Amino acid sequence: MPGAYEQAGVKVEAGYELIERIKSHTARTARPGAGQIGGFGGLFDLSSLGYHQPVLVSGTDGVGTKLMVAKAAGRHDTIGIDCVAMCVNDIIAQGAEPLFFLDYIACGRNDPALLEEVVKGVADGCVQAGAALVGGETAEMPDMYQTDEYDLAGFTVGVVEKERIIDGSAIRPGDLLVGLPSSGVHSNGFSLIRKALFDQGGLSLDVRPDGLGGLTLSQELLKPTRIYVSALKPLFDRGLLHGVAHITGGGFVEKVPRIMPQGTAAEFNIDSWKVPPIFDLIERCGQVDHMEMYNIFNMGVGMVLVVDPARLDAVKSVLDQEHEAFHLVGRVVEGRGERVILTRGD
């Protein structure tokens, strides 16, 4: 006869099974400073890294309703990468080296095989970011979630030398804006994406729209969010950047002003890079104003770097060595009220 907890809808044995399943995935994320997983708290020995004036930088985020697309597509092995990316991309925008990550999964029923796929994705993202997966929590809440539903969130901590914090204070008129490409829509705006493509556009996940290189809509939408740690770290090490903006929810209009000093504005030439076709499809199906798209999505640019013109060649050289594509997308100008200016053409 099932125990009282199981009769209430929580299978304790499934939780034990999940822990065994994910041990190999967490082991892949080991890095200097990280303690063994399994205690009540995740341990990290900061003294082992040799920082002189370490400043900890933390970030937390989820994946939003992109989870609904993953569920509908029956694919759960990449959504964890998104969760890691949304957290670590925020802290590296301030120059921080990601150290460790913790995940939180809430579900209606603990399906060990399915949740192992989710955690595998988290571990994959941690490997890309160089962060140790030091712990996490799985909460089975049958009265809160439907049986086949789950939610995913994460938390990361990084470190940066105090004198190397990138806060935008060095930005000056005349600086150049360099854009690093996104892998697609990343992990924001999915409430609008789902409404535009499925409700208004009448599309299905298995359709192959023109311009997507033969990919189905689910394959395009579930492309994992890019993790920019390997591209940015060499630039940080050489002190080549005045500012970095991670372009997520709120797009250019909301994210870029976070790093702009008073009296300056970021002027983008939106014709200086090719917008991926998925954004054109969302805009068309959802009848979204073109300029509003830049206030919602990354439009193909996941990171914006602010660079002194005298250091542009050095930045290009490092990005080339990292095999990182980039575009010169604008410049910093004197502010006239607007913090972000979107222009077209030369």
Q: What angle do CA 75, 77, 79 make, to 5 degrees?
A: 85
Q: What is the DSSP string of 14-34?
A: HHHHHHHHHHHHHHTT--TTB
- pLDDT over threshold 60, residue 314: yes
Q: What angle do CA 259, 263, 269 make, to 5 degrees?
A: 65
Residue 314 CA to its chain's centroid (Å): 26
- Residue 162: per-residue pLDDT: 96
Question: Is residue 71 in a domain?
Answer: yes
- Residue 9: per-residue pLDDT: 56
| 158 and 196, same domain (yes or no) | no
pLDDT band, very low/low/confident/very high, at 13 (cuts 50, 70, 90): low
| 191 and 328, same domain (yes or no) | yes
| 70 and 12, same domain (yes or no) | yes
| 130 and 263, same domain (yes or no) | no
| 151 and 64, same domain (yes or no) | yes
| 33 and 181, same domain (yes or no) | no
- Residue 11: per-residue pLDDT: 62
Q: What is the pTM of this model?
A: 0.93
Question: Is residue 156 in a domain?
Answer: yes
| 199 and 297, same domain (yes or no) | yes
pLDDT band, very low/low/confident/very high, at 10 (cuts 50, 70, 90): low
Residue ending a domain, choose from 133, 164, 195: 164
What average pLDDT does this structure show over 118-138? 95
What does the block give as tokens for 201?
């556009």
Q: Let me know: does 271 contact 181? Beta carbons within 8 Å.
A: no
The residues near 183 (Cβ < 8 Å, ≥ 6 apart) are 223, 224, 225, 226, 302
- Residue 112: per-residue pLDDT: 87
What average pLDDT does this structure show over 269-290? 97
| 191 and 336, same domain (yes or no) | yes
- Residue 330: per-residue pLDDT: 97
Question: Is residue 61 in a domain?
Answer: yes
Please state, rounded to an integer, the average pLDDT across all residues of the chain: 92
CA distance 125 to 132: 10
Range in 32-41, 120-129, 279-288, 300-309 the model is least confident about: 32-41
The enclosing domain of 292 has a CATH number of: 3.90.650.10
Question: Is residue 2 in a domain?
Answer: no
Residue 179 CA to its chain's centroid (Å): 16
- Residue among 337, 329, 255, 333 nearest 296 (CA): 255
| 147 and 39, same domain (yes or no) | yes
- Residue 338: per-residue pLDDT: 85
* Element at 81 (helix H, strand E): helix 79-92
- Residue 68: per-residue pLDDT: 96
Question: Is residue 222 in a domain?
Answer: yes
CA distance 22 to 89: 24
- Residue 23: per-residue pLDDT: 77
The enclosing domain of 48 has a CATH number of: 3.30.1330.10
CA distance 83 to 195: 22
Question: Is residue 170 in a domain?
Answer: no
What average pLDDT does this structure show over 279-302? 97
What percentage of the chain exceeds 90 in pLDDT? 80
CA distance 185 to 279: 8
Question: Is residue 171 in a domain?
Answer: no
| 23 and 156, same domain (yes or no) | yes
pLDDT band, very low/low/confident/very high, at 12 (cuts 50, 70, 90): low
| 187 and 98, same domain (yes or no) | no
Range in 13-17, 81-85, 95-99, 139-143 the model is least confident about: 13-17
Q: Which residue has the higher pLDDT, 240 or 18?
A: 240
Q: What is the DSSP string of 232-245?
A: HHHHHHTT--SEEE
Which domain covers residue 145, as residue numbers? 7-164
What does the block give as tokens for 16?
């034990």
* Element at 217 (helix H, strand E): helix 217-221
Q: Which residues of 121-153 are buried (b: 16+ CB within 10 A; e: fewer)?
A: bbbbbbbbbbbbbbbbebebeeeebeeeebbbb
Alpha-carbon distance values, 254 to 39, 132, 266 (Å): 39, 31, 12
Q: Are strands 132-140 and 97-107 parallel, antiparallel or unpaired?
A: parallel
| 77 and 214, same domain (yes or no) | no
What does the block give as tokens for 242?
């005045």
Q: How many domains does the chain have?
A: 2
In DSSP terms, 333 is beta-bridged to 265
Residue ending a domain, choose from 139, 164, 189: 164
Residue ending a domain, choose from 142, 164, 186: 164
- Residue 221: per-residue pLDDT: 98
Question: Is residue 51 in a domain?
Answer: yes
- Residue 290: per-residue pLDDT: 95
Q: Are strands 132-140 and 327-334 parallel, antiparallel or unpaired?
A: unpaired
Alpha-carbon distance values, 105 to 21, 188, 213, 343 (Å): 15, 19, 33, 42
- Residue 2: per-residue pLDDT: 61
What average pLDDT does this structure show over 203-211? 96
